[in-house]
Structure 1
């Protein structure tokens, strides 16, 4: 019996099912990126997420399904950054080179160099050849959607006379590859590019891109 004036202990708040699910996804991403798919275990992920093994099995079934869920979640988060950045694409440029450079800086900073995109690339490099089927969500919802969205905008610039693009899909892939060319190695090794690095990479990429696809390219 509690004495008058004493304070009963307050029970620790219980995490909701959604909170546990998100905690498991976050923990699984950490463990899979750190240890790889083969070495990761449900026990390690449960410890990282501070949940029971049974909680993970209840939400995801097994390690393969959890890995697929992690890839899908990371892809969706990465896509959110891409689509937010696409909203600032220069649809009606007055200076196509300067405005594409600014867009390329934003694309590199917000998308190519963000945590989820970097983690996904590391996972794909480490596990893609051995477990290609586990990356189905990334193949379905990842870069191809981003390329298609950028390609559609390049097509509009072509019709408006700002670019000379025969195949917008190829141009979109090359645009992203050019931006990434000077940043990729450092980012994969854990370096964070400075604003000057981002701007230099963007400027070089756009200069090369416009040599191939600028309006003057039609007469070359």
Structure 2
């Protein structure tokens, strides 16, 4: 027999399920309709909850957008740091391993559903409502840059790279990784594995021309 679920646990699960349903529906509506065109009734209908439930969870449309951006940013950050754990700290073939890492970074964090949602929201609403994205600036790319910079600094210390400023190198690496994919991402096109790998190869080749060294010290 299926064990009974305690009432308080069931309530927590129900609350969490409604919260995720509201945030997912809101992300889709905001991306499709824009902030001005979105309304709570439409979000509630797509989430399968009442209008009052949305207000009970988030208060108003501005708070809901802030919550959507926060939730997506947290999910993207989780993917970023999971991917950063695969960074080639002790490479054998730095170019090949950085290419593989760049492919994973794009697949897991930038070209997935959450990355597409956040990019669309920033493109359409970031300039008009900058205050609603203030948390994203602090908790989104800044964390990624810092974590990636630390890893590049370790590669430089080991003799693989020649860096004056690891923070600049990290930002440039991410910009290069995205460079060949920008047009496809702006128009919401699907990006193939072949395109991801070609973009990563071009990015890493350019990055290593600027910062690479022939071999680490002592080898």
TM-score (norm 1): 0.89
**Corresponding position: 1:141 with 2:139:** yes
Other-structure match for 1:20? 18
Other-structure match for 1:215? 213
How far apart, CA to CA, are the structure 2 residues paired with 1:194 and 1:27?
27
Unaligned runs of 5+ in 2: 1-9, 215-219
Cα distance, 1:88 vs structure 2: 0.5
How far apart, CA to CA, are the structure 2 residues paired with 1:39 and 1:171?
39
Other-structure match for 2:204? 206
Other-structure match for 1:30? 28
Cα distance, 1:49 vs structure 2: 0.9
How far apart, CA to CA, are the structure 1 residues paired with 2:190 and 2:79?
17
How far apart, CA to CA, are the structure 2 residues paired with 1:108 and 1:21?
28
Matches within 5 A, 1:176-191: 176-191=174-189
Cα distance, 1:22 vs structure 2: 1.1
TM-score (norm 2): 0.90
Cα distance, 1:94 vs structure 2: 1.3
How far apart, CA to CA, are the structure 2 residues paired with 1:50 and 1:33?
18
How far apart, CA to CA, are the structure 2 residues paired with 1:23 and 1:108?
26
3-state SS of 1:16 partner = helix
Other-structure match for 1:56? 54
3-state SS of 2:134 partner = helix
Q: Is the 8 A contact 2:25 2:46 kept in 1?
A: yes
Cα distance, 1:195 vs structure 2: 1.2
Other-structure match for 1:87? 85
Other-structure match for 1:152? 150
How far apart, CA to CA, are the structure 2 residues paired with 1:63 and 1:192?
30
Unaligned runs of 5+ in 1: 1-12
How far apart, CA to CA, are the structure 2 residues paired with 1:192 and 1:144?
27
3-state SS of 1:65 partner = helix
Over aligned residue pairs, what C-alpha RMSD do you find? Answer: 1.4
User: How far does the alpha carbon of each residue in 1:119-169 deviate from its partner, in whole angstroms, 9 at most, with x for none?
Assistant: 111111101111000002211111111111100000000001000111011
Cα distance, 1:183 vs structure 2: 0.8
Other-structure match for 1:6? none
User: How far does the alpha carbon of each residue in 1:95-119 deviate from its partner, in whole angstroms, 9 at most, with x for none?
Assistant: 1111111111111111111111111
114, 117, 132: which is aligned to 1:116? 114
How far apart, CA to CA, are the structure 1 residues paired with 2:93 and 2:78?
27
Cα distance, 1:25 vs structure 2: 0.7
Tell which structure's C-alpha radius of gyration is larger: 1
How far apart, CA to CA, are the structure 2 residues paired with 1:131 and 1:194?
33
